[in-house]
Structure 1
């Protein structure tokens, strides 16, 4: 097999498997070998399910030989964030307190991956409870591009493993930016779907009205393929919307010709790398036939990122009420600090923030009604070293500034696609995001694909 097989796109691997140029068993074996070789230093996996993966790959090869295909994920090795329940396999959600938690059933998204023929290689490491820091007793995944840099918040293992060629796609979750941060820091195409587009049944919550589950992949096309599998209504999750699921991959070539893409004139706090990524994206989209329209972010946009922490805190306190504060000594300091804040929040303060959230959602809906898509940075400071992150601390304004361009879209539930769009002098990827109206994932995926037909940032690989 080619030595760089692990870096192929999911789409390309799927085509080779379907054409029987490659077997799932040999591909899965090669990926497991790579995980054994690379991941002890990278620490992206919480659990590797090698025997189960090989057995599943063998069964899927037998189906292929019999002329059966389950679809574009048939036989493709993927991995899931360790807050997605997996039957018979520990699901710890990054928490020392849950290391022995072995679910009796799969999360809906895991079931859908398996039904589509994906081979689950294992569970990917994450921050404690999907909040902002890893538990002190659990090693944090390293950034495969440069170990001195942040891996990107809670879906850190998903970002590192997908970028390093340790799976062909992964699932992440995004409550304040945790698909988008690791996607930009690891050079991936990460999709935060519309809230309600993907079931959260069997997924450990951080803040249920803010949590989104979505794919982290190497290209917009790969994200489209995965979203088409995991999206849709679910009897186990009444918040999963019953709208029809489009064939996202089939519509990927729709492009952006004639589309109006908004670019805000009142953004602030952008460094040179973040600004350059946006400017280069503007040039690429113009070349692809889109027009760039000046818009203004709502006046309450920054307030959204300030409100996000206390809103997240009070919902997280609900999610952890069975173990916190009764077992507070087993929690790390960052998550316990969030939960304490949630327990202190007054009902009137919560009501005020919920009203502001509703107003922000309405204002963003109005903005997005005036354009087809919205072009945004992921972070004002395009990349963070771990040293700079630690020095910045976690005071409310610092956290809000880091969440400025991500958290408002978790509050509103709009879909966003993060794409790699540059590189720093230290060899760390820089990303940007495209935002669409609710349930218009087709539009952002087609826009992302159009961008990636004209650029090669998504084809670059870390120097492992």
Structure 2
């Protein structure tokens, strides 16, 4: 039951085969059994979840169906405000904070009838490392390997069958890294497609919110619920939200998919390059047109720390000066931001706009791009938490992620095969702005053609 897809368990609940309460109790028991080792949850809301499940069962029985995920237990990253539930942002200074209002994404999920199991761990302020006071989540495939950041708890809990879907955020790769590391699907929508109201910023112009699931269809169903204009977030788009699930037909005949072989192979783990070649060949066999392109990615990946640092310093301007001693690794990023002149930030904005213009030009001849989700097959857990890699090494780590946070392009990470350390490998598709439907449809075709579909042995 716990490894069913979100849409499948939703159908079972809504057909009366099982109940939301039975499913919720099953997952709460599973969390109690496994999460002392996996450490993915920071807060479990057992009483509230059971109450919500009972209410969902009553509504479904009365014929009031809210969405395909009505009655389905989910969890959210602890960067999103939850009314009456502690929201820490992964930070010591907020460990006792209890918001009065939900983040807009949380409200939309609850209005759709989803059952909130609890809040999931993350790195401090959604940056690169966990605060020293936080027990780091454990990869369910290999406890010696990285879970990915910053949505670490979301990746672990979803992969381990502790929830049917989760919400993550992505500023430089924070949906895609934990999705790739834990063998799940991660969808980073177009910037402004999903409201960020009630979510602590890391970098205001880079932050995205999106679903993390065990199938592409589940990601589409989650996006269907959370996407759309929100007056509480003036940057959210007015564009109409299409029906992402109904649009899936897995027909990719004639879809133009670009690949920059230098980008995906130079200095990259050979097993990842092999995975991309396999995926490209399968896409071609299913009718896609493969086009070789050249991406201007280097200047963008190198400049990400500057933009993120300056914007993080602004986001923490009211708390950092007063509570500096309680800050952990993110303090180094904030200090960098405070030290940089305005000219450095503006120079990166020029680079960013140039990259976006060039990417738009490339997409005139393409529908999608394909590349890895990460530049390495796996990373040792202990190495990932060392502060001496906080600023250094970032451009290489962010090679396949930061450029598309800079551009705001939608991306989809899909588990592909198992790597040499027993942890999954991942491929990434990148789409044109607001064309998530094309991304999702190709992702479903790729998933069916050869994507990794197993689960950790838990």
With the length of structure 2 as denominator, give the TM-score of the two structures: 0.98
Match of 2:454 among 445, 454, 460: 460
Give the secondary-structure state (helix, strand or coil) at the position aligned to 2:36: helix
> Equivalent of 2:344, from 344, 349, 353?
349
What is the aligned length? Answer: 456
Contact 2:129 2:385 in 1 (8 A): no
Q: Does 1:451 align with 2:446?
A: yes
Q: Could you tell me how far 1:276 is from its partner in structure 2?
A: 1.5
Q: Is the 8 A contact 2:188 2:410 kept in 1?
A: yes
Aligned-partner SS, 2:130? coil
Q: Determine whether 1:252 maps to 2:223.
A: no
Report how far residue 460 of structure 1 moved. 0.7
1:297 is matched with which residue: 290, 295, 298? Answer: 295
CA–CA distance in 2 between the matches of 1:454 and 1:175? 30
- Measured in 1, the distance between the counterparts of 2:77 and 2:454 equals 23
> Is residue 262–residue 295 contact of structure 1 (8 Å, CA) maintained in 2?
yes
SS at match of 1:7: coil
Answer yes or no: is 1:279 the counterpart of 2:277: yes
1:218 aligns with 2:228: no
For the Cα contact (< 8 Å) 1:280–1:421, is it kept in 2?
no
Q: 1:62-118 CA distances to partner (integer Å, 9 max, x unpaired)?
A: 011111110111000000000111000011010011011111010000000000000
Q: Could you say what secondary structure the match of 1:350 adopts?
A: helix
Please tell me whether the aligned partners of residues 369 and 437 of structure 1 are also in contact (alpha carbons under 8 angstroms). Answer: no
| 1:113 and 2:109 aligned | yes
Q: Secondary structure at the match of 1:191?
A: strand
**Normalising to structure 1: TM-score of the pair?**
0.96
Which of 94, 98, 109 aligns to 1:98? It is 94
Asked whether the 8 Å contact 2:378–2:421 carries over to 1, the reply is no
Match of 2:75 in 1: 79
Aligned residues of 1:176 and 1:407 also touching (Cα < 8 A): yes
In structure 2, distance between residues paired with 1:385 and 1:22: 41
Q: Give 1:57-68 correspondences, 5 Å limit.
A: 57-68=53-64
- 1:129-168 CA deviation, whole Å, 9 max, x = no partner? 0000000011110100001000001100000000000000
Q: Is the 8 A contact 1:420 1:430 kept in 2?
A: yes
Flag the 1:391–1:236 CA change in 2: closer, same or farther, 3 A: closer
Match of 1:234 among 217, 223, 230: 230
C-alpha distance 412-280 of structure 1, shift in aligned 2 (>3 A): same
Shift of 1:284: 1.7
| Structure 2 gap segments, 5+ residues each | none
Question: Against the structure 1 CA distance between its residues 335 and 397, is the aligned structure 2 distance closer, same or farther, given a 3 Å change threshold?
Answer: closer
Distance in 2 separating the partners of 1:195 and 1:455:
29
Whether the 8 Å CA contact 2:173–2:401 is kept in 1: the answer is yes
Which secondary structure does the structure 2 equivalent of 1:338 belong to? Answer: helix
Tell me how far 1:379 sits from its aligned partner.
Answer: 1.7
Paired residues for 1:186-201 under 5 Å: 186-201=182-197
* 1:123 corresponds to which of 91, 95, 119: 119
Q: Does 1:338 align with 2:336?
A: no
Shift of 1:392: 9.7
